[in-house]
Structure 1
Amino acid sequence: MRILFTTWAWPSHLYAMVPLAWACRSAGHEVLVASQPELTGAIQATGLTAAPVGHHVDAVGVFRDIVRPPDGGGRGGGGPRVLGLLTALADSMTDDLARLAKGWRADAVVFEPTCFAGPLAAAVAGVPAIRHLYGTDLLGAAGRFLPDALAPLCERLGLDGVDPFGIATVDPCPAGLQLPTGSPRLPMRYVPYNGPGRHPRPLPPAASPGRPRVCVTWGTTMSRLDPELFLAGDAVRAVADLDVDVVAAVTPGQRATLGAVPSGVHIAQSAPLHLLLPRCDAVVAHGGAGSLLTALAAGLPQVLVPRLPDHVRHAARIAETGAGAVLPAPVEDPAAIRDRLAEVLAEPAYRDAAGRLRGEMLAQPSPAAVVPEIERVVARSASGPVQPVSIRR
């Protein structure tokens, strides 16, 4: 079977699909990953085969303007602007992706939920489209707006319409965190993949027995948008006032942006986050889906300071489940981060809630167990109209 995975050029969206892509490859299927040319290097670094499609769209500029409007006004209209960006990205990719799907004779297209080129190209090629979430189902609530948004593209492609949710949704979120999904859910255990890196050197022993260790990480997105939005340095300096050991997880390029840090803070550069967190007791972060789910995979409560619309919604779900606390951005006084962390560390209910979500994650089928379900979806589509399916437990 030939399975075409696709995302637009946003590394964290790619990373969410890597475990399933490798599970498909390990099961003997051919796998190809298609995205805009600027993501080619990141795809190749996963060990998978890259296929460049489409052309560049300035997504960074759009997100930067949402967070910091150029006119200096207040934030607003993020939803419509994001939807406009996603349709522009689909327009840039769909023609090439459809040609690739047909020319490569793909049997199925697996797409992340914001890559509408995936279901459009699958419809043109006449193969099933399977959605792969990277976090909570943020577009489920936008379902009523999607037909109108995608109508011009469907008309250009000669399609009567397209289901933007695919015939099934591969879902790595624990059920207790997830929002209602737009198509039948194929639960899958979250397997952290945080990009290429190197094994971290051992963390120093705790300064005193029982002293908590806190990891501060701000992902890779915020520093791309604006170094002033990279709050890891402020967070490190604030929480270091507590009786905790602090480890800051950064990329080499973020080290200078981190600024001066108190003595005793351990800086881990290029270390995959999932290798650091099992030795920690809590996480302070920005609310990105990859960092958030990796923290839950370790059963850790979180203090989150979200800024982008998807980070805000992911963080809200963490607060609603009781697995963490959220501070609205911008944070005028970093001491507020310290105070919320002290609360999260002192109250066992936060860690208990995170542990429950971790248990739900571990109970879900592994990526290898999901591959046969995808095979069944494709087999059903070959014998007649594609019907939505649910995973067999």
Structure 2
Amino acid sequence: MGRFLFVTPPLTGHVNPAVGVAAALTARGHEVAWAGRPEVIRRLAGDGAKVFPCAVPRRLPERDASLKGPAAFRFLWEEFLIPLAEAMAPGVRAAIGRFRPQVVVADQQAIAGGLVADGLGLPWVTSATTSAELVDPLAGLPKVAAWLDDLLDGLRARIDGGPADPRMSPHGVLAFTTRELLGPAALPSRVRLVGPSIGGCAPTGGFPWDRLDPAVPAVFVTLGTANADAAGNFLRAAARGLSDVDGIQTVIADPGGAVGPVGDTVLVVPQVPQMALLARMDAVVCHGGHNTVCESLWHGVPLVVAPIRDDQPIIAGQVVDAGAGVRLRFGKAKPERIAAAVTKVLGDPGYRSAAEKVGASFREAGGAATAADHLEELLG
């Protein structure tokens, strides 16, 4: 049996897919350990997870909601990903020394995992929790690409990392999507489209399930866990707009408490058991985060996507191209526009049909089990 070390950033959406793959490997008798933030990993993988702690920067930066496009990209790398890699690198190196993994699985945003493993000559695989990097977002931007290469070269020198690109391992890339969502973009042969890995230990207790009427169409509104700085105006607009739509009920995830009092047909809660809730939904309004999009489509639920930044515009474009939803401009998402978009998605069965088609492709791809197959191939 093999030993696999998963290296993840302190971000729920990046740990969740790895949890499913780790569970599949464990079920086959392999030994699994983690390098990252213990409190984040154990909340999702369970209290029994073997976690080697990694530091994070003393103060993770908050991005101003106005940052978009190249400015947001630059901030992401300079202020978050590079400092995070420097902070995590000693913990990753210590985890490898103590656990002695045969294969390292490094999240695309935990770039210390790939660089340290590469420097030590270990087989490692990239866990691509979003498909944005697969379609080369810097194509046609040679100056930006050169700037990023320089950043990575400096990081390599400081942490004694290997020469490979930490975003796209030469040993393989596990991409948690399928062609039905990704589209026809050309991909390197090392990319494996395994479909979403559905896992995690999200409890379903505590949610007011009795507030949901199964006879009434239901809409879920969420901006994920990493967009609190930009969430307030949008969530308030969604609450106002959807409270005026007859014949629907709405659930809004509002971790920052931005919404305030609303009508009886809108339920506002700080957190939700997302996968369980999605099974009861008829439409989802979100920011275009890859996990939320894939979990919605897994259940055949069509979407209204209002991307904010980073990979979200790319994912939103994929949803629209697949026919599984409509797109709004985040900054222009007034109550009436959100209401009209939701009404359109609920009223046209073609969106539901397209969402179900993508969801079927996810199941056929195999998800965590297929990812585990590819990882086992590296054991030799």
TM-score tier, shorter chain, comes to: 0.7 to 0.9
* Residue 266 (structure 2) aligns with: 265
User: Is the alpha carbon distance of 1:244 and 1:181 closer, same or farther for their aligned partners in structure 2, counting shifts above 3 Å?
Assistant: farther
Paired letter, 1:177? L
* Residue 212 (structure 2) aligns with: 204
Q: Which runs of 5+ in 2 are unaligned?
A: 140-144
* Residue 222 (structure 2) aligns with: 217
| Cα distance in 2 between the residues matched to 1:296 and 1:245 | 20
Indicate whether 1:161 and 2:175 are aligned: no
Indicate whether 1:292 and 2:293 are aligned: yes
1:327-364 Cα shifts (integer Å, max 9, x gaps): 11213622111111112222222222212111111111
Deviates more, 1:22-31 or 1:183-192: 183-192
1:37-61 Cα shifts (integer Å, max 9, x gaps): xx32121222122221233264442
| Cα distance in 1 between the residues matched to 2:134 and 2:14 | 14
Indicate whether 1:185 and 2:191 are aligned: yes
Q: TM-score, normalised by structure 2?
A: 0.86
For residue 276 of structure 1, give the secondary structure of its aligned residue in structure 2: helix
| Cα distance in 2 between the residues matched to 1:339 and 1:111 | 41
Q: 2:240 aligns with which of 237, 242, 247?
A: 237
Offset, 1:155: 3.0
Offset, 1:282: 0.8
Deviates more, 1:142-151 or 1:279-288: 142-151
* Residue 372 (structure 1) aligns with: 373
User: Is the alpha carbon distance of 1:94 and 1:181 closer, same or farther for their aligned partners in structure 2, counting shifts above 3 Å?
Assistant: farther
* Residue 142 (structure 2) aligns with: none
For residue 340 of structure 1, give the secondary structure of its aligned residue in structure 2: helix
Paired letter, 1:339? A
User: Is the alpha carbon distance of 1:320 and 1:152 closer, same or farther for their aligned partners in structure 2, counting shifts above 3 Å?
Assistant: same
**8 A Cα contact 1:198 1:272, kept in partner:** yes
For residue 379 of structure 2, give the secondary structure of its aligned residue in structure 1: helix
Paired letter, 2:16? Y
Offset, 1:258: 2.6
Indicate whether 1:171 and 2:169 are aligned: no
For residue 332 of structure 2, give the secondary structure of its aligned residue in structure 1: coil
Across the aligned residues of Structure 1 and Structure 2, the Cα RMSD in angstroms comes to 2.6
User: Is the alpha carbon distance of 1:279 and 1:160 closer, same or farther for their aligned partners in structure 2, counting shifts above 3 Å?
Assistant: closer
For residue 221 of structure 1, give the secondary structure of its aligned residue in structure 2: coil
| Cα distance in 1 between the residues matched to 2:6 and 2:348 | 42
For residue 309 of structure 1, give the secondary structure of its aligned residue in structure 2: coil
Offset, 1:215: 1.7
For residue 221 of structure 2, give the secondary structure of its aligned residue in structure 1: strand
* Residue 113 (structure 1) aligns with: 108
* Residue 323 (structure 1) aligns with: 324
Q: 2:249 aligns with which of 246, 251, 256?
A: 246
Percent identical among aligned pairs is: 24
Q: How many residues align?
A: 362
| Cα distance in 2 between the residues matched to 1:213 and 1:49 | 39
**8 A Cα contact 1:301 1:324, kept in partner:** yes
Q: Where in structure 2 are the equivalents of 1:327-366 lying within 5 Å?
A: 327-331=328-332, 333-366=334-367
Paired letter, 1:49? K
For residue 109 of structure 1, give the secondary structure of its aligned residue in structure 2: strand
* Residue 384 (structure 1) aligns with: none
Q: 2:40 aligns with which of 37, 42, 47?
A: 42
Paired letter, 1:213? A
1:176-231 Cα shifts (integer Å, max 9, x gaps): 2225555623332424346633244345335xx6x5222222222222x35635x3
Q: 1:94 aligns with which of 89, 93, 102?
A: 89
| Cα distance in 2 between the residues matched to 1:155 and 1:204 | 55
| Cα distance in 1 between the residues matched to 2:333 and 2:93 | 48
Offset, 1:80: 2.5
User: Is the alpha carbon distance of 1:187 and 1:113 closer, same or farther for their aligned partners in structure 2, counting shifts above 3 Å?
Assistant: same
For residue 180 of structure 2, give the secondary structure of its aligned residue in structure 1: coil
**8 A Cα contact 1:286 1:306, kept in partner:** yes
Q: TM-score, normalised by structure 1?
A: 0.83
User: Is the alpha carbon distance of 1:235 and 1:182 closer, same or farther for their aligned partners in structure 2, counting shifts above 3 Å?
Assistant: farther
User: Is the alpha carbon distance of 1:258 and 1:160 closer, same or farther for their aligned partners in structure 2, counting shifts above 3 Å?
Assistant: closer
**8 A Cα contact 1:236 1:248, kept in partner:** no
| Cα distance in 2 between the residues matched to 1:86 and 1:268 | 31
Offset, 1:275: 0.9
Deviates more, 1:84-93 or 1:267-276: 267-276
**8 A Cα contact 1:101 1:125, kept in partner:** no
* Residue 390 (structure 1) aligns with: none
Q: Which runs of 5+ in 1 are unaligned?
A: 380-393
Offset, 1:76: 4.7
**8 A Cα contact 1:54 1:97, kept in partner:** no
Deviates more, 1:117-126 or 1:139-148: 139-148
User: Is the alpha carbon distance of 1:369 and 1:310 closer, same or farther for their aligned partners in structure 2, counting shifts above 3 Å?
Assistant: closer
Indicate whether 1:82 and 2:76 are aligned: yes
* Residue 56 (structure 1) aligns with: 57
| Cα distance in 2 between the residues matched to 1:123 and 1:335 | 51
